[in-house]
């Protein structure tokens, strides 16, 4: 089983991998820079080299880089969109240092412009970034399923499919993926507790199951369709432990990497990783 959690990147790549091993994880997620945005720390070539060696010796990966959650590719102001574009372009360049990583981002919020306009802005931005890159990056870029809080785009599988289709039709050779956040899809109205198989059937029909590359494994403080996005510890929320047992054993999910983003400290994550492993039949 590939399982881990979100870790602080303040100590660098090797420190994250060592922390992952110390809590029983073999994957991890991290922010590429301050989650509220801003400049990224310069990459330390020695740290990256030590990380790559340690990761291969310890079976760590794939690592999942998370874009700052303040990026809004669908913002109404050009300044907001330009910041998102420059940040994502820079993140993808930096991630070439750790080949085979994945990069997850929140599609954006249309802030009253309408989902269709927002989807156009997001796919235009992605196409420009890939175009400037000059080739398909070694990093797989993932759109995260969203809870639909405010004007968030990406609550429905249709919106994600639309962004993928509009981007790939222009960015040749690029294959986008999706990160399914269990709290977000539940809050977004997909009943993964009562009908996990049906939700995945729908995902397959609309997006294609092969697009699914990662699972953000979070319980939710809120009821189905609440559009709130408040993560809870596994088994302590409205999704509940039995649903997570089905999730980690589901044939279409079980080979994917599971990344916890629950309100836990390291010890709490260690226990949740053990818990998830114990659910595997
Ligand atoms: Fe996220
Ligand atoms: Fe998430
Ligand atoms: Zn969330």
Residue extents of the structural domains in the chain = 3-279
Q: Where are the alpha helices (DSSP H) in 134-250?
A: 157-168, 182-187, 196-206, 241-249
**What confidence tens digit (pLDDT) does each residue in 220-238 have?**
999 999 999 999 999 999 9
Angle, alpha carbons 252-254-255 (nearest 5°): 95
CA of 230 from ligand 3 middle (Å) equals: 6
Residues 6+ apart with CB under 8 A from 26: 2, 3, 4, 20, 58, 59, 60, 61
CA of 105 from ligand 3 middle (Å) equals: 11
CA of 92 from ligand 2 middle (Å) equals: 19
Cα–Cα distance for residue pair 133/90, rounded to 1 Å:
10
pLDDT at 49 over 90: yes
Cα–Cα distance for residue pair 266/15, rounded to 1 Å:
13
Q: Write the CA distances from 161 to 6, 169, 276, integer angstroms.
A: 26, 12, 30
pLDDT at 41: 87
CA of 172 from ligand 3 middle (Å) equals: 31
**What are the beta bridge partners of residue 181?**
216
| Among the listed residues 233, 220, 161, 231, the one whose alpha carbon sits nearest the alpha carbon of residue 193 | 220
pLDDT band at 35 (very low <50, low <70, confident <90, very high): confident
pLDDT band at 148 (very low <50, low <70, confident <90, very high): very high
- Residue 145 backbone class (left: φ over 0; alpha: ψ -120 to 50; beta: rest): beta
pLDDT at 210: 98
CA of 121 from ligand 1 middle (Å) equals: 19
For the chain, the average pLDDT equals: 97
Q: Which of 20-24, 39-43, 71-75, 140-144 has the lowest mean pLDDT?
A: 39-43
The percentage of residues in the chain with a pLDDT greater than 90, rounded to a whole number, is: 96
CA of 181 from ligand 2 middle (Å) equals: 5
Dmax over CA atoms of the chain, in Å, equals: 50
One of 2.30.110.10, 2.40.50.140, 3.20.20.150, 3.10.580.10 is the CATH number of 3-279, namely: 3.20.20.150
């Amino acid at each position: 089983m590939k399982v881990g959690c979100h870790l602080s990147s303040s100590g660098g790549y090797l420190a994250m991998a060592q922390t992952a091993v110390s809590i029983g994880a073999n994957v991890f997620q991290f922010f590429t820079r301050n989650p509220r945005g801003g400049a990224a720390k310069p990459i330390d070539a020695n740290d990256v080299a030590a990380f790559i060696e340690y990761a291969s010796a310890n079976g760590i990966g794939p690592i999942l880089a998370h874009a700052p959650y303040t990026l809004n590719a669908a913002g109404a102001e050009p300044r907001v969109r330009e910041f998102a574009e420059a940040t994502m372009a820079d993140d993808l360049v930096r991630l070439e240092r750790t080949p085979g990583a994945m990069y997850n981002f929140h599609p954006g919020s249309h802030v009253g412009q309408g989902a269709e306009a927002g989807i156009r802005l997001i796919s235009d931005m992605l196409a420009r970034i890939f175009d400037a890159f000059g080739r398909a990056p070694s990093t797989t870029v993932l759109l995260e399923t969203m809870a639909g809080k405010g004007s968030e785009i990406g609550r429905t599988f249709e919106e994600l499919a639309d962004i993928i289709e509009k981007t790939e039709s222009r960015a040749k050779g690029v294959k986008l993926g999706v990160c399914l956040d269990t709290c977000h899809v539940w809050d977004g109205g997909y009943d993964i507790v009562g009908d996990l198989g049906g939700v995945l059937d729908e995902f397959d029909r609309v997006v294609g199951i092969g697009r699914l590359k990662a699972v953000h494994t979070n319980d939710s403080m809120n009821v189905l369709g609440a559009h709130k996005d408040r993560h809870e510890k596994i088994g302590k929320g409205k999704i509940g432990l039995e649903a997570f047992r089905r999730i980690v054993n589901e044939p279409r999910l079980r080979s994917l990497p599971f990344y916890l983003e629950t309100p836990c400290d390291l010890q709490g994550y260690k226990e949740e990783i053990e818990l998830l492993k114990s659910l595997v039949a």
